[in-house]
Amino acid sequence: MNFKHTYSNRKWVIFSFIISIFFIYIIRLLFLQVFDDQWDLKAKGNALRYLTDYPPRGLIYDRNGELLVSNAISYDLMVIPRKVKLTDSLMNELCTILSITPDDFMHRFNKAKAYSPYVASIFDRQISDETHGYIEERLHRLQGFYVQPRTLRKYLTSAAAHSLGYIGEVNYPEMEKNPYYKMGDYIGKTGIEKSYEEELRGIKGCQILMVDNLNREKGSFQNGRFDTAAISGKSLWSSLDKDLQEYGETLMQGKRGSIVAIEPSSGEILCLVTSPSYKPELLVGRERGRNYRKLEQDTFNKPLFNRALMAQYPPGSTFKLVNALIGQQEGVIDRNTRYSCHMGFAYGNRVLGCHAHASPADLVFSIQTSCNAYYCRTLKAILENRIVYKTTKEAYDAWHKKVLSLGFGQKFNSDLPYELKGNIPKSEYYDRYYGLNRWKATTIISIAIGQGEILATPVQLANLVAIIANKGYYYTPHIVKAIGHKDSLNTRFLEKHYVDVEEKYFFPIIEGMEKAATAGTVRSAAVPGIRIGGKTGTAQNPHGKDHSILVCYAPIDQPKIAISVIVENAGFGATWAGPIASLMIEKYLNDSIERKDLESRIINSILY
Amino acid sequence: MIKTTHKNIDWLLILLSVALIAIGWINIYSTTANDFTSFNFQANYGKQLIWIGSAIILALFTMVINYRFYPSFATPIYIIFTLLLLTVLFIGNTTKGATSWFGIGNIGIQPAEFAKYATCLLLARYVSDKDCDLTKSKHLFIALIIIIIPMIFILLQNDTGSALPFLFLIFALFREGLKSWILISGFTAIILFVLLVFLNQWIVVGIVSVILFTILWLFRKIKRNYPGVLLIYALIIVYIFSIETVYNKVLKDYQRARIETLFGKIEDAKGIDYNVIQSKIAIGSGGFFGKGFRNGTQTTLNFVPEQSTDFIFCTIGEEWGFVGSSFVLLLYALLICRIILRAEQQREAFVRVYGYCIAFIFFAHFTINIGMTIGLMPVIGIPLPFLSYGGSSLLAYTLMLFTFLNLDAKTNHWT
């Protein structure tokens, strides 16, 4: 039989139709399942709840093991916007519990939604214990909300606010820079909290729970295979001495300025006082934002301004130490060089004045008595040294390099965020200002006595004394001594930096500084029974009365503390900075103060 | 006449159906079992096992009956099930707005599934008649009436989903001589409808005019019947303008919403397209190899609705990935093509037409159901043959397939 169906060929149309549907579906599946990963993310958003396990932040101790900063528990109310069924009753309930307005509610809700509908955002931070209990009981009615425990900082000292710094919620730039941080995380914003953020924060843990379509927890995802445990932050041992820091802040009450003390043998900062300051606990807790704004708006006292690192003062006469060292190194003076001084240094038709003292002065006496003329001549000799240098500019560049080796004019890149570098102008600056070859020693003579363009920060001045105490080297001043364990020293700061001045040139300087303390300008800083060496400074400045500056170290034979004190607009260095330095040294070396009268006079003086 | 031997039974079709049933059960178990330790006959996977047992008995029963029974009793079977469809309207139970099933004790029976079987039988019987010529409008009309009567009853039950597969029987008619232009008009109507969802009717009229005149110009050398062209043009324009009314007045709100979400005109994850979104999330998150048996979070944690019945394909997609879901697609494609292939080899027109009919019922369910889960079709609640949980559908498809196997085994083939 060979009967043919009339329409038999139509089977091919039918087959092709079926097969094309089959291939369309296969291709669609390929795109859905293999090429497009948004569905996977959405599935995770649906079914998984990531509970962050916040590790406790590392503690901060002082150099003697006294606790400065610890942690306190607090609770944040979190919201996952997509899981919230917005109803009037839910809004009313939460508004009542948190005592917020419905507008505020919607504002917070929309903000969280704008960040991500799937990811938890903080709805209300640091809720009180009472509110926390109240919410826990009602959580089943508040779908999409849960309570997240967090650790907050607790300060055991009311001092050292700037050094310790504070933590705050991450902002968008910080989140973009480091994907570790998620909305609502805390991050160190300033001070140690910022520079040691990675050590202190530890590593967040994550617990993955499964939830069903009604947001009920259904156990851990794949038996916790992807969960990670939180790793606690490391503790830090600051180099600060809590008692000294607190004492320094007490002394600086009512005064503007700063005290920086460094242990010369290690570069460890013993205290970093800036005044006016604020109490660190002001920047913790629910009131943080308001307190911060208040501090920020106090433009008269500027309590958020860290003077110890960021205030740049003309160093005044303390800078004579620098020129005395460089002058010797350049071979233009030695300890026997004598310059006469009759109430000042005359150049051209001008005179840079000096006070009445015996003349001529040698190197030691010039420091003891702080002779202006001596250093004008020294600088002139350095810059006009045509035996070694062809031009003033060349001589100046050599001088500049040596000043920088003494820690001036640059940042230490230490563990202190936001330090400023002061100012030691380059020769190019003068070329621009006066014109090429249009300047010479007498044009810029005020840098001889630390005025003019010269600017230094308190920490640079303290470091200068540390260099003198060490007779030629320093360790980068730093504020964290050990990380993780009391004895595991901070390896970043173990390198000795040698300066471009030989050891032998330090002896006359030290002699002069000691004499200044016994029978010279630094008498007010003397401490009975302790050999100290120091140098005063009185920095003229355009903002009113001179700044009172004093740098010193003690004891002379075995230096334990190098210190710089600056009291703004307080007149001569000897008047205010001297006694403060003296009391600080007594406090640190003797641990108790004999001179109660002096102490109370200083504490009770208000200079602004 | 060839004597019945088991050698003539198409074991490939049996294998394909058994594979689909097994895959179905594994996935029903995955979504409805709460733990591995005990076996619960009250849970869906337990009940499905009972249904599978019943299906085996039904299959054997279907196979041993004399094949002459089916064409002979096609008419009474059709009448009985059509009447059942009518009865269910009055005494049936209602789920999700559709009054479509009888409750007998614990079990529910959905006559619509069996009505498909009955319609296939009667349609095959009528069309395979020597005297039937589908090019004649009278015969075509009768064939269409056979299809439309059960459809109307099912639509009255408010069960649009179950009515839709009947339309696919048109393809079987096409194979038996239905004029091509009818099918082409049908497709044109669908394309125009889709266009109208997106575009203003005037723009659609413009597009149609441009296409029509381009064709006329391209084929200007061929002799044409201008009144005929004009008539077609007029009909298309009338259609375009009537769609507007039908779409807005006849379709129900939820149906319009489903169509519009399908084409992405509405987006609302918690609202109308929640099901589709969740379904796509489940399938899409399966990746290439899937998350593994019982590891599908979207299906086991109830994000996907109806996951053991209409959305069973989501579980396959999520837990078995692209590999598993394309394997299932392949099984269906093989099943459908195999039925058509065997049908084509039949000497008896009845068996051929019947084969085409059931192949297109399977094809309809396959296309609509899977298309829905992957977001290519609107949400229409119909089961996936052999895979979805549910007794009525399993028994009805077993009946359809094994009736074909019986007919196929016992009648002559072209070789």
**A40 interfacial to chain B (CB closer than 8 Å):** yes
**A51 interfacial to chain B (CB closer than 8 Å):** no
Residue A79, strand partner residues: A121, A145
CA A259 to each of CA A7, A136, A450, B72: distance values in angstroms, whole numbers, following the listed order: 105, 49, 19, 112
Distance CA A502, CA A148 (A): 60
**Which residue in the set B285, B302, B321 is minimally distant from A43, CB to CB?**
B285
CA distance A34 to chain B (A): 5
Asked if B159 and B90 count as a contact pair (C-beta separation under 8 A), the reply is no
- Structural tokens at position B156: 């009255």
Which residues of chain B make contact with A48, given a CB cutoff of 8 A?
Answer: 297
Give the start-to-end residue ranges of the domains of chain B.
6-177+269-410, 179-250
Distance CA B5, CA B52 (A): 25
Query: What stretch of H or E contains B117?
Result: helix B111-127
**ipTM of the predicted structure?**
0.90
Please report the pLDDT score of residue A414 as a whole number. Answer: 87
**A22 interfacial to chain B (CB closer than 8 Å):** yes
**Which residue in the set B288, B301, B329 is minimally distant from A47, CB to CB?**
B301
* CATH T-level topology, domain A49-238: Penicillin-binding protein 2a (Domain 2) (3.90.1310)
Test A21 with B175 for CB contact under 8 angstroms. Answer: no
Which residues of chain B make contact with A38, given a CB cutoff of 8 A?
Answer: 284
Asked if A505 and A322 count as a contact pair (C-beta separation under 8 A), the reply is no
Nearest to B144 by CA among B123, B129, B128: B123
Residue A69, strand partner residues: A60, A155
Give the start-to-end residue ranges of the domains of chain A.
49-238, 242-294+306-604
Nearest to A119 by CA among A77, A187, A40, A182: A182
Tally Cβ neighbours within 10 Å of residue B330.
13
Test A33 with B301 for CB contact under 8 angstroms. Answer: no
Suggest the residue from B281, B303, B351 to mutate for an interface test with chain A (most A CBs closer than 10 A). B281
CA distance A146 to chain B (A): 20
Which residues of chain A make contact with B302, given a CB cutoff of 8 A?
Answer: 212-214
**A8 interfacial to chain B (CB closer than 8 Å):** yes
Say what the alpha-carbon torsion angle B328, B331, B332, B337 is, to the nearest 10 degrees. 160
**A507 interfacial to chain B (CB closer than 8 Å):** no
**Which residue in the set A10, A30, A211 is minimally distant from B175, CB to CB?**
A10
Please report the pLDDT score of residue B273 as a whole number. Answer: 67
Tally Cβ neighbours within 10 Å of residue A30.
14
Which residues of chain B make contact with A33, given a CB cutoff of 8 A?
Answer: 283-284, 286-288, 317, 321-322, 325
Contacts for B29 with CB less than 8 Å, ≥ 6 apart: B45
CA distance A19 to chain B (A): 7
Distance CA B18, CA A549 (A): 96
Nearest to A284 by CA among A55, A57, A53, A108: A57
Asked if A109 and A94 count as a contact pair (C-beta separation under 8 A), the reply is no
Per-position pLDDT tens, chain B of length 415 = 344 455 688 899 999 999 999 999 999 998 887 766 778 788 888 889 999 999 999 999 999 998 889 999 999 999 999 999 988 888 877 776 677 777 776 677 889 999 999 999 999 999 998 888 888 889 999 999 999 999 999 988 888 888 999 999 999 999 988 888 888 888 888 888 888 877 788 888 888 889 888 888 888 777 777 788 888 888 888 888 888 778 777 777 777 777 777 766 655 544 556 788 888 888 988 889 988 888 887 877 777 877 788 889 999 999 999 999 999 999 999 999 999 999 998 888 899 999 999 999 999 999 999 999 998 888 888 899 999 998 899 999 999 999 999 998 887 676 5
- Structural tokens at position A237: 């041992």
| Phi, psi values for residue A593, rounded to 5° | -110, 125
Please report the pLDDT score of residue B360 as a whole number. Answer: 96
Of the CATH numbers 3.40.710.10, 3.40.50.510, 3.40.50.12780, 3.30.565.10, which one belongs to the domain with range A242-294+306-604?
A: 3.40.710.10
User: Cα dihedral sign for B208, B214, B217, B221?
Assistant: negative
**Which residue in the set A6, A11, A18 is minimally distant from B344, CB to CB?**
A11
Q: Give the residue ranges of chain A where pLDDT is below 70.
A: 1-6, 214-215, 573
Tally Cβ neighbours within 10 Å of residue A329.
19
Nearest to A451 by CA among A539, A565, A331: A539
**Which residue in the set A22, A44, A47 is minimally distant from B333, CB to CB?**
A22
CA distance B224 to chain A (A): 26
CA distance B252 to chain A (A): 27
Distance CA B256, CA B244 (A): 12
Those residues of chain B whose CB sits closer than 8 Å to some CB in chain A are 171, 174-177, 278, 280-288, 295, 297-298, 301-303, 317-318, 321-322, 325-326, 329-330, 332-333, 336-337, 340, 344, 363, 367, 370-371, 374-376
Which residues of chain B make contact with A28, given a CB cutoff of 8 A?
Answer: 374-376
Look at strands A236-238 and A60-61 and give their pairing: parallel
Tally Cβ neighbours within 10 Å of residue B214.
10
Test B333 with A24 for CB contact under 8 angstroms. Answer: no
Distance CA A562, CA B180 (A): 103
User: Cα dihedral sign for B124, B128, B129, B135?
Assistant: positive
The separation between the first and the last C-alpha atoms of chain A, rounded to the nearest angstrom, is 122
Distance CA A167, CA A154 (A): 11
Please report the pLDDT score of residue A2 as a whole number. Answer: 38
**Which residue in the set B284, B336, B370 is minimally distant from A40, CB to CB?**
B284
Distance CA A311, CA A455 (A): 9
- Structural tokens at position B303: 């994000």
**A11 interfacial to chain B (CB closer than 8 Å):** yes
Asked if B317 and B91 count as a contact pair (C-beta separation under 8 A), the reply is no
- Residue in B closest to A41 by C-alpha: B285
Nearest to A166 by CA among A299, A38, A342, A296: A296
- Residue in A closest to B347 by C-alpha: A3
Say what the alpha-carbon torsion angle A366, A372, A376, A379 is, to the nearest 10 degrees. 50
